[in-house]
A and B are shown apart, each in its own frame.
Chain A
């Protein structure tokens, strides 16, 4: 009995002592690596960008690709090799997009890589794709294998919102692409995304209706009748 008690006592003291030992934190010893950052909702390595719900005055925009490194920050900027995968890309550099030289700034662990995209007339009919890939550079090896590819599809194709017939038609009338484009220009893309995807207060919707209608009246006073893509006169309900 005493032996058993002593044994338990020794084990307990041993456990207590072992938990007090100072641990050595292992630091990253491999080559510095880089990969595309994962968003909170999963990897953001495929993005669809539509100019359609942007104001007509928007002729170019910038898509940001977030990347981060594995390893420690460095005192000097380091080169990132982010390249087009030509075999999988239909977008034309200089016409649909432009790239730049990418670097990880000194002292940073993450940065955003800019892809400038252009609104061209052909995007109203055709969607183009830009396939990018992170490759090894003189400063970085590639990181997590599933986070190296980035796919960007670009279009300017207006489509009828799902809730047009159910909600919007009673306020804005018959759908046409020209009318919808005009609404986007008047209300802005944020409002358009809100009213086409969520349920909003009726008074707020009436405010948007009145705002669009006022702009339409002003437009017709200056330019004459507004015509849709089929040359039919556009009207907004009173």
Chain B
């Protein structure tokens, strides 16, 4: 009997389930409108520079107006943001600096409106192209009470201060920072700040710190004394070239990930200069231990090589025997490398020219002359070679001189007021082959940092074709810096 009751129960349950499944939906519901939200806007693509403030206030239309029930959010993603999106604002009106790094693909800026009553979200996607505010211009290394910092004067003359500390959570560079290199190669751009016993690599987009000696070397040199850092633009050599304490190091990122290797072989102690180019000998250096010029022969070279000229033709000078102190070695006019040496025992200076484009060692040494009528050239704070004309500018105290190589004499081309002394000195020139285009002021602008008390200023002197300063005055003056230690032109990244 009980077994039958059990079976009936099961049968009743199955019948109910079947009935429910077959019941017809009559569709006799009551529909109520929810608060439909529409976002309206004038434009949906924006072009900003990094750190610029972007201001957008789209119109928000509601079917049932009730502003109090709305919640807003702006966030940005895509581009170089590899992980989560970045929330920019929770206001209706966006009015914030754009914090993302520059990128050639637009970021997606999402505006979301949520009706808190229904929970329904409405959104619109804007496109934002972010270009680099720190892309190009003169990098200024200045001393500050808290340490050292970098500033940038962009090509339009806008001065951006605190670009290093601003990008590094308020951290300053160590106060021993004394030199800046901004080097561009075929593959990349490296910006270095040299310290007393280290070297910082700075991000080319936002100037954030990227690394120091342990990051650059497989084996950090025993004596840490960074002197020169280059990033070559030719395929003939490894792009990364560094002189540390007179020793030469290379690293070729074209061969993959890596670091600077062991010291390049040879019996040498280099002066802290490289003459760089794209010719047969793209990197010429001077060995002050053995008083000779050397070059790096190839991308795979494990040693520095000496020039071996023959006895004929008669050499203007002996490339392997210069018993003088090197004051400067740099690329000069006509793609020649130019050097100024000084006697050890007196202040007499001498000009040497090298042709790094010839394949014949006997044609490398091209010019030698004792420098006449060059006031104080031996104690200049800086030398700047013109790449277009055979001129060398040098700065002593508050004066700028032009040494005319052809005429073999120097003339004063500009004086700052007494007490305003020059601390750093550069020519604006960056072009390398077709890889790096010239700036509008290529070889026509001297950029000079001066110091008065504890204040630093930067001047632009525009140069005429004669080599003199146009109108005998500066075209731009930028004030308000601390004492300036170094200048370097950063090409577009």
Contact = CB atoms under 8 A, between A and B. Distances in A.
Contacts of B255: 202-203, 206
Interface in A223-238: 237-238
B33 interface: no
Contacts of A213: 265, 302
Contacts of B264: 210
Contacts of B263: 210, 214
Interface in B218-251: 218-219, 251
A237 B251 CA distance: 18
Contact of B261 (A1, A206, A237): A206
Interface in B251-267: 251-253, 255-259, 261-265
Mostly, the A contact residues are helix
Contacts of A238: 301-303
Contact of A207 (B257, B258, B265): B258
Nearest to B3: A1
A60 interface: no
Interface residues of B, number: 20
Contacts of B219: 207, 211
Given A210-B302, A238-B301, A201 B265 contact: no
Nearest to B6: A1
Given A213-B265, A214-B265, A204 B258 contact: yes
Give the contact-size bracket for chain A.
Answer: 10 to 19
B2 interface: yes
A203 B2 contact: no
A189 B264 CA distance: 23
Contact of A210 (B2, B3, B253, B265): B265
Nearest to B264: A210
Residue among B218, B257, B264 with the highest chain A CB neighbour number at 10 A: B218
Interface string A96-129: 0000000000000000000000000000000000
B461 to A, nearest CB: 43
Given A207-B218, A238-B302, A201 B256 contact: yes
Nearest to B257: A201
A201 B258 CA distance: 7
B306 to A, nearest CB: 14
A206 B298 CA distance: 14
A206 B252 CA distance: 10
Contacts of B218: 204, 207
B1 to A, nearest CB: 10
Contacts of A207: 218-219, 258-259, 261-262
Interface in A176-231: 201-204, 206-207, 209-211, 213-214, 217
Given A203-B251, A238-B301, A210 B257 contact: no
Contacts of A211: 219, 261-262
A217 B256 contact: no
B268 to A, nearest CB: 12
A203 B252 contact: yes
A176 B252 CA distance: 29
A207 B256 CA distance: 13
Contacts of A202: 255-256, 258
Contacts of B303: 238
A217 B258 contact: no
A1 B218 CA distance: 83
A194 to B, nearest CB: 13
Interface in B288-310: 301-303
A205 B10 CA distance: 78
Nearest to A202: B255
Contacts of A203: 251-253, 255-259, 261
A194 B219 CA distance: 17
A219 to B, nearest CB: 12
A211 B301 CA distance: 13
A130 to B, nearest CB: 38
A113 to B, nearest CB: 37
Residue among A1, A206, A209, A211 with the highest chain B CB neighbour number at 10 A: A206
B303 to A, nearest CB: 6
B10 to A, nearest CB: 14
Contacts of A206: 252, 255, 258, 261
Contacts of A201: 256-258
Contacts of A214: 262-263, 265
A210 B262 contact: yes
Contacts of B3: 1
Interface string B115-146: 00000000000000000000000000000000
Residue among B219, B258, B263 with the highest chain A CB neighbour number at 10 A: B258
Contacts of B259: 203, 207
A34 B258 CA distance: 49
A214 B302 CA distance: 9
Given A202-B256, A206-B261, A210-B261, 10 more contacts: A1-B2, A202-B258, A203-B253, A206-B252, A211-B219, A211-B261, A213-B302, A214-B263, A237-B302, A238-B302
Interface of A: 1, 201-204, 206-207, 209-211, 213-214, 217, 237-238
22 contacts: A1-B2, A1-B3, A201-B256, A201-B257, A202-B255, A202-B256, A202-B258, A203-B252, A203-B255, A203-B259, A206-B258, A207-B219, A207-B258, A207-B261, A209-B302, A211-B261, A211-B262, A213-B302, A217-B265, A237-B302, A238-B302, A238-B303
